[in-house]
Amino acid sequence: MRLQTLAPAKINVCLLLGPPRASDGRHELVTVMQSVSLHDRLVLTEHDGAADVVLCEGVDPQRNLATAAIALFRAHYGWDGPPLQLTIDKRVPVAGGMAGGSADAGGALRLLHHATGLGAPDDLEALALALGADVPSQIRPGRVLATGAGEHLQRVPGVTGYGVVIVRSELGLSTADVFREAGRLGLARSVEQLAAGLAEVQAALPDLPDALCVNELAPAALSLRPELQLRLDDLMRCGADVALVSGSGPTTVGLFRDLDAARAAAGELPNALLAKSVGPDVGEVT
């Protein structure tokens, strides 16, 4: 057996922050996520060892969400198939706010479904929440409106026409630290304010106006890493229609309607690359 899939990074085109839930402490969110062409490549094979193994250069296997995804899949479905090796060619930044680990976990579950026939995509999305709030949306890449803590998903057809310039950071930023800082700064909306934001986003989809392309976690990320503001300013100087911190950061992204300006910005800015939006077909298993 040899199966492979791509695990694309995501950007948060919109992220509205609500209050933490009493049940599990996770924040209620309204977020529109878009998969982009920057991706990891995952290859699943059987191997002769005694246990499953995940190989990913620069990432501790025991801290890799893909390792946890395989263990969760086995436990949930009671699957006792032969030991597996998952090899990840890592391109998406770790702790970069682009769901790099979550995309790998989603890709691992996708591969396991194809290898075993167990777990319909809807079931896998429900299961994946145990791994992290971003993982359910990464079972099936593309564009999605996520609510709750990320477990309620509405697929949004099509892809955006923006050129996407991704500016990577050499240092990661802990999602937990950013959410704690958001709490300290009092950034969360009330339940009523979040509901009003959701209604506004739903009315605007499938494509959002620039005014709704916001990230309400950004002030927390900028409080922890003030230098990120310079990157946002550089993206706007280079012609971006919108410049955002992606997710919890520290990756910053510029959305450009002018593709020539996007190409020029990607060539000018340090640690930048040009990407495009991609649809669900990017996650096909072969």
Secondary structure letter of residue 134 according to DSSP: T
- How many angstroms separate the CA atoms of 168 and 166, rounded? 6
Q: Which of 86, 12, 27 is nearest to 56 (CA)?
A: 86
User: Among the options 10, 40, 52, 234, which is catalytic?
Assistant: 10
Asked if 10 is an active-site residue, the reply is: yes
- Burial string for 229-249 (b: 16+ CB within 10 Å, else e) reads eebbebbeebbbbbbbbbbbb
**Residue pair 283/141 in contact by the 8 Å Cβ criterion:** yes
Asked if 134 is an active-site residue, the reply is: yes
- How many angstroms separate the CA atoms of 194 and 27, rounded? 11
Instruction: Tell me how many helices (H) and strands (E) the chain has.
Output: 9, 10
Two tokens, residue 39: 């991706």
User: Among the options 40, 104, 134, 234, which is catalytic?
Assistant: 134
- How far separated are the first and last CA of the chain, in Å rounded? 11
Two tokens, residue 196: 């009003």
Catalytic residues: 10, 134
